[in-house]
Structure 1
Amino acid sequence: MSDLLDKIGHAYGNTSQNKVVDVSLNNWGQIEIKNLTPGSENLDFHLISSDGDFDDLDALRSSGKRVTEYVKSAFVTDRSLSQVKAIQSMYNPNALEVPSVFVTKDNVLANKNTKLSEIFGDKVETLKINASRLDNTGSIKIPNLPIYLDIPILLDVKNSTIKDLKDAIKERFNNEVDVEVESNGRLRIIDNAPNQSPISFALSTLDAKGLEVAGIPTNNASEYQKTYFNKEGAKLESNVAQIAQNGVANGSTQLSEVSRGSLEKSVFNMKLNDVNGSFLEAQMILDNGAFLSLPNGIKIPLYDPTTADVQVSKPNEVTYRQLMDAMSIALNYSNIDPAIYQQISDNPYSKESKEQFIDLLKQAKGNLSVNLNEDGKIMIQDNMHSNTKMQFMLFDKDANDFSQNALHSDKPSLKLNANNALVIDKPSVNFFDQLEGVITSVRKGIYRPDALGDTYSSDMRNLGIQNGITLIDHLSDHIEKMIAKNGAHGKAFENIIRRNEVLKTQVQSIRGETTGTDMAETYNKFSNLTNNYNAVLASTNKINNLSLTKYL
């Protein structure tokens, strides 16, 4: 285990001379990663392991090899698999589990009445089931058939339910198996005839032409980037905060500031249901400019509406506002005349093209809004429906590439929503939201993450009471620091007031010395001056009256 922890630390940049993160195992067997850079909130982590070695994750998921997951979230995942093979349970050798999650596109756990069309992709017309029992020689033996042939069962997806799927599997195995959709969303087949040879099971999705087509959901725990935003009423919200070097990203922040590297030649795929519920695949291409690629070969230049320049932004100068503009256009796709898209695409780098681009944004903003919230997470608000029909995911085109070249290239990327490890503590504080999360843990009796076992629910990402205690300690420290800070400010104010009082007294004293008057003293002084003046006048008058005649 220590080797794994060291390997994780090395992936973050730990060396023998310098530690960037501290990686440890807590008392509950959970991996904890602590960022040693003060004030940093850029940690992100996801881990899976397998007994198969593949360069492509979807190939691994379809191979029938065991995949062990360490992070689980109740996110709707991409329907990117065309085939899955059931895997023997680690705890029951007579049980098979299908490594996919059977939840609807609205993130509701499937039950026996759920239509298959609500689970599988929109292009899927037929579900092909390969179910067989091997004989002692290893040959495929199909129950109820005289020959050893693996003849598949075909189910019409639009007119079949989970119950039909379960009944078809039971019938194939002569009712010697039990079939259930477990609380974790996985299809489980239990062989009730263990003395016979083992069973095998596989699912494939076919289009209208009978060709294999991607339509099976990936397992929510093994998926990382390719997850849809969380939906709450009329709002979609991502779960990955966009953090730049100097703080939370805003509309003017460049994507390259958050990715911490060049995004030149990067391509980001978008899969979404627009504001009317229509499914759409699009791309944001950052190569010799920045473009939004839409169906039918449409390529919309991503202009900067805040400038008069008609040139397209360079890949490393694209801002979050431009990314959100591209998302707005894609999410409003079915409300616009296709001819408008074609005109913008055919006439790039022109004043007319930019004006039409700005018009697209104005029309989109009437139906929806896309913004960054105070935590740096992207929010999509439906202005037309109280319960939005929209869904959205964005992921790197090479998200599934784990080849040696991809591992060594360490290419910067962009993540908006991810099945990542839980963040227990971080430098920034959203006091009331975090406290509400702790209260929810107590009310639901969730002691720690994964305390509910394999149950698929929104509480899979609940921090639990265990981590809530740590969080409250942090909030308490934060409050104490704020109290200390306020106390320091209070003392500073008291000192300032005291200095002002002293200064006021000194000023009044100086003013009194320079302009102050003692009325009694002044009156007495001026009275004496008046008497003296009158005496002088009297003496002068007598002298003036003296003459020789009067003398004689």
Structure 2
Amino acid sequence: MRVTSNMYYKNIYGDNNALLSKNLFDVNKQIASGLKIQYAHEDIRAFTETMRLDNEITTLGQIKSSTQSAFKLSDQTDAVLGEFETSMNRMRTLLVNAANGTNSDVSLDAIAQELRGLEENFKNLANTSINGQYLFSGSAVDVKPIADDGTYMGNDAQLKAFTGSKTSQQYNISGEELFLGEKKLVRREVTTNVVQENLIAKYPALQQAGYTGVDSFVSSSSTIRELMGDSDNLVDVGVQKHFFYINGTTSDGTSLKQKIQMSDDDSIDALLNQIGNLYGNTPDLKVVNVNMNSNGQIIIEDKMQGSSKIDFHMVGATDLSGGAAANVTNIDNLGVGETNFDKIMLGTSTALNTNLHVKEFIKSSLAPADSVAATNLIEGTIYDKTEFSIDGAKLYSATPQILKGTNAFATPSTKLLDVASGTTLNGKSFTLEGTDVNGNPYSAQIDLATAGSTFTIGGNTYDIFNVGTPRAAVAADEMTYKQLMDVMNMVVTGNLPSAAPGSSAQYDSAVATADLRGKTFLSYDGKIQFEEMNTGNTMARMALYDSNSGDFTAPPSVMTFNTNNAITVRDPKTDFFKTLDEMITAVENYKLYPDSSSGNIRNVGIENAVAMMDDLQDHVFRAHSQVGAQTNSLNTSLQRTELLEISSMSLRSSVIDTDLAEASLTLAQLNTNYQAMLSTVGKISQLSLVNYL
């Protein structure tokens, strides 16, 4: 084969020129763009790795943005709770000063005024917002969490930041948790609010000759005679002439009702021990502590943590004539007696039975239900047969409905059985009475039965329908608060089914019509309320109670809806602004301790207010600790994300970015090679045929 110049040119220049030109173009492109490749086909491995790293960097950017926003909100919450604690420390200092017993009314007024200012500051702090988003409203960030009356308006939702694949971190604390949260370790404590004098020490006529009367309070070591009084100076040893009627609820939600008989020479401590036994105390185990304070008031402390169910009511009776008027089967019959022992001693009593001394231990300013108003005029004898309180167009109960198992507040869908004492409601009855929205009196009976529950009013009996299929009268143990409140709403508004027992359609129509006139509902703290629509003041009145109420020959009430019960001093459940108001009211009323004789009858007193403030502070400290932990976690997550982001970007750069020094060296080498190739081709091009001969 003949070798030609064209063959030299093609072999040396043609192929090498194309390759070198491509390489020069590629390296110039890398230098210009800063990237090793532009398209996937140039390097599939590098392209795939780059896409993976791009996704990782994008995700880390989202995490970083989410975490930064969450950190700012959590950090601001941390700062606000710090201000909370500062103000709470100041409030506690003021309460301790108010409790020292040496302040004048003017001084207490000044303290109360500063306390009200702190209360307003707490509301402002609670309504803190960032960029229009409220810190303590849960997920309802556009809703102002605390209303002017202290009611919480937000929800209990948790806000969480995206902190990684399948991971998140809470960054808020809702007002539900902060202002209405629950402290599982707190033991409920209740107290009576009637101060108990030593009646024997007060009157010389009840002592031996030469005695001078003194004013003093009874203590646990005092005798029952000193608590209840007498008609002469003789101690009737062993004669059980004093009667105590007790109602209440144990820590597990079981109702109790008991009549206790005591004699003159028995000690109050013996009475307290018997009360403790009713709640389940044994010689080997105490489930409650029952004590008497320096003002003669009975205090019951639940030793079981996390329960809000302990309740207590007691009334005493002594027939000073030696008769049997104090020994009754129904405490309604004690209404003929006299509660003021001074009037008995001075002979100024106007009671129907001036020899029957009725001892009140708890007072609430609650009106008795209509059926007993004519005979029972002694407020302290009433336990659960009481009318709901009135506020303009609203009627409201003071007794929360609390689930036995979880200590949570009832909701409309809660079954009555989940709150009631016992294992079934079959055969139980409730009485509903008062006046409707038109001022007309009513009396209805709600009968619960497994075969189907009904309510009776005006001689007509109506079925209470379920919401299932087929529609039928609801079984006793399946009845919910919604169904109970529907009945209450129909009766109070005067809108009943058009026929008895009525069809489900007639029942539903009556419920819908009643809802247009009024609403019966459960408040945020589990209390039944009624509100008449389109009016400022309602004529409606309402009382709802177990038909066994007051009858000490019958079982205890399976449920209580409104009670003249002991005052709550401590409870696992927190109601921040309501508690603040109670504490400040104690100072405004000049009350060192609970005292029903003046001012707000059910106020806890300043001494108890200090203990309540300790509980509130502990609750806020715990919430603050939670927020602090959240903030630290978010900060750690943010730092970790930033490091990962930098690491991923560095790794991406090593995969896809051009190394300019290396590319420049490659370019120089390619240029040298290209010049060498051109020089070689030039020399070959100058050769002639003569050179080969």
Q: What TM-score results when the alignment is normalised by the length of structure 2?
A: 0.54
> Shift in Å at residue 95 of structure 1?
2.5
Distance 1:221 1:214, change over 3 A: closer
For residues 398 and 108 of structure 1, what CA distance do their matches in structure 2 show?
Answer: 22
Match of 2:100 in 1: none
- More helix by percentage: 2
1:320 corresponds to which residue?
A: 481
Aligned with residue 542 of structure 2, among 373, 386, 392: 392
Q: CA deviation at 1:372?
A: 0.4
The structure-2 alpha-carbon separation of the partners of 1:483 and 1:467, relative to structure 1 and needing over 3 Å to count, comes to: same
| Rounded Cα–Cα distance in structure 2 between residues aligned with 1:537 and 1:317 | 100
Aligned to 2:452: 289
1:129-185 residue CA offsets vs partner (Å, 9 max, x unmatched): xxxxxxxxxxxxxxxxxxxxxxxxxxxxxxxxxxxxxxxxxxxxxxxxxxxxxxxxx
* Cα deviations by residue, 1:192-227 (Å, 9 ceiling, x for unpaired): xxxxxxxxxxxxxxxxxxxxx983343111110111
1:372 paired residue among 499, 522, 536: 522
Q: Which residue of 1 aligns with 2:570?
A: 425
Query: Which blocks of at least 5 consecutive residues in structure 2 are unaligned?
Result: 1-267, 319-325, 359-363
Give the structure 1 partner of residue 48 of structure 2: none
In the other structure, the counterpart of 1:47 is 314
Distance 2:533 2:571 in 1: 33
Q: Tell me the equivalent position of 1:416.
A: 561
Q: For 1:369 and 1:33, how far apart are their aligned partners in 2?
A: 36
Please state how far the C-alpha of 1:485 moved relative to its aligned partner.
Answer: 1.8
* 1:265 alignment partner, SS class: coil
Alignment of 1:347-358 (within 5 A): 347=502, 353-358=503-508
SS at match of 1:497: helix
Change (3 A) 1:546 1:311: farther
Code of the aligned partner of 1:215: A
Query: Aligned with 1:392: secondary structure?
Result: strand
**CA distance, structure 1, for counterparts of residue 350 and residue 609 of structure 2:** 34
Question: 1:147 maps to what in 2?
Answer: none
The equivalent residue for 2:509 is 359
Q: Structure 2 matches for 1:261-340, cutoff 5 A?
A: 261=422, 262-287=424-449, 288-296=451-459, 298-305=460-467, 307-333=468-494, 340=497
Q: Does the CA-based 8 Å contact 1:229-1:238 persist in structure 2?
A: yes
- Pair 1:31 & 2:298 matched: yes
CA displacement at 1:37 relative to structure 2:
2.5
Q: Which amino acid aligns with 2:665?
A: N
Q: How many residue pairs end up in the alignment? A: 406
Instruction: Kindly provide the amino acid, as one letter, of the partner of residue 427 in structure 1.
Output: P
C-alpha distance in structure 2 between counterparts of 1:395 and 1:374, whole Å = 21
Greater share of strand residues, 1 or 2?
A: 1
Gaps of 5+ in 1: 69-86, 102-106, 110-117, 123-212, 348-352
Cα distance, 1:382–1:549 mapped onto 2, change above 3 Å: same
Q: How does 1:536-547 map to 2 (within 5 A)?
A: 536=677, 538-539=679-680, 542=683
Deviations, residues 212-249 of structure 1 (Å, cap 9, x unaligned): x9833431111101110010111111000011133111
Whole-Å separation in 1 of the counterparts to 2:680 and 2:345: 138
Identity of aligned residues (%): 31
Q: CA deviation at 1:534?
A: 4.2
Q: Tell me if structure 2 keeps the 8 A contact 1:56–1:401.
A: yes
Contact 1:263 1:412 in 2 (8 A): no
Mapping of 1:175-190 within 5 angstroms? none
| Alignment pair present for 1:92 and 2:366 | no
Distance in structure 2 (CA, Å) of the matches to 1:119 and 1:54: 19
Distance 1:500 1:16, change over 3 A: farther
Q: 1:108 to 1:523 in 2, by over 3 A?
A: closer
TM-score using structure 1 length = 0.68
Q: CA RMSD in A?
A: 3.0
1:362: Cα distance to partner? Answer: 1.1
Q: Equivalents in 2 of 1:23, 1:429: separation in Å?
A: 23
- Structure 1 segment 102-141 matched on structure 2, within 5 A: none
- With over 3 angstroms needed to count, the CA separation of the structure-2 counterparts of 1:476 and 1:390, relative to structure 1, is same
The CA distance in 1 between the partners of 2:670 and 2:290, in whole Å, is 95
Rounded Cα–Cα distance in structure 1 between residues aligned with 2:625 and 2:373? 58
Which deviates more, 10-19 or 221-230?
10-19
Deviation at residue 90 of structure 1 after TM alignment: 6.7
- Provide the residue aligned with 2:393 in structure 1: 234
Task: Report if aligned partners of 1:88, 1:94 keep a CA contact under 8 Å in 2.
Answer: no
Per-residue deviation at 1:38?
Answer: 2.3
Q: Which residue does the alignment assign to 1:191? A: none
When residues 53 and 31 of structure 1 are mapped into structure 2, their CA distance, relative to the original with a 3 A threshold, is: same
- Specify which of 583, 588, 600 is matched with residue 443 of structure 1: 588
Q: Do the aligned partners of residues 496 and 292 (structure 1) sit closer, same or farther apart at CA in structure 2, a change above 3 Å counting? A: same
Structure 2 counterpart of 1:220, one-letter code: E
Q: Match for 1:317: what amino acid? A: E
Q: 1:99–1:396: structure 2 CA closer, same or farther, 3 Å change rule?
A: farther
Q: SS of the residue aligned with 1:381?
A: strand
Output the CA distance in 1 between the equivalents of 2:608 and 2:589: 14
For 1:221, the equivalent position in structure 2 comes to 380
- Aligned residues of 2:369 and 2:387 also touching (Cα < 8 A): no
Question: What is the alpha-carbon distance in structure 1 between the residues aligned to residue 388 and residue 369 of structure 2?
Answer: 18
Shift of 1:490: 1.5
Q: Does structure 2 conserve the Cα–Cα contact (< 8 Å) formed by 1:448 and 1:467?
A: yes
**Counterpart for residue 461 of structure 1:** 602
The letter of the residue matching 1:6 is: N
Aligned equivalents of 2:550, 2:589: Cα separation in 1: 36
Instruction: Answer yes or no: is 1:497 the counterpart of 2:638.
Output: yes
Task: Return closer, same or farther for 1:446/1:217 CA change in 2, 3 Å cut-off.
Answer: same
Q: Distance in 2 between matches of 1:60 and 1:91?
A: 15
**Matched AA of 1:506:** S
Greater RCO, 1 or 2 (C-alpha within 8 Å, sep 6+): 2
- Give the SS at the match of 2:637: helix
Contact 1:255 1:318 in 2 (8 A): yes
Which shows bigger deviation, 21-30 or 224-233? 21-30
Partner in structure 1 of residue 190 of structure 2: none
Residue 544 (structure 1) shift:
7.5
Give the deviation of 1:326 after TM superposition: 0.7
Distance 2:373 2:607 in 1: 40
d(CA) in 1 for partners of 2:271, 2:368: 36
- The reply to whether residue 524 of structure 1 matches residue 665 of structure 2 is yes
Letter in 1 for 2:552: F
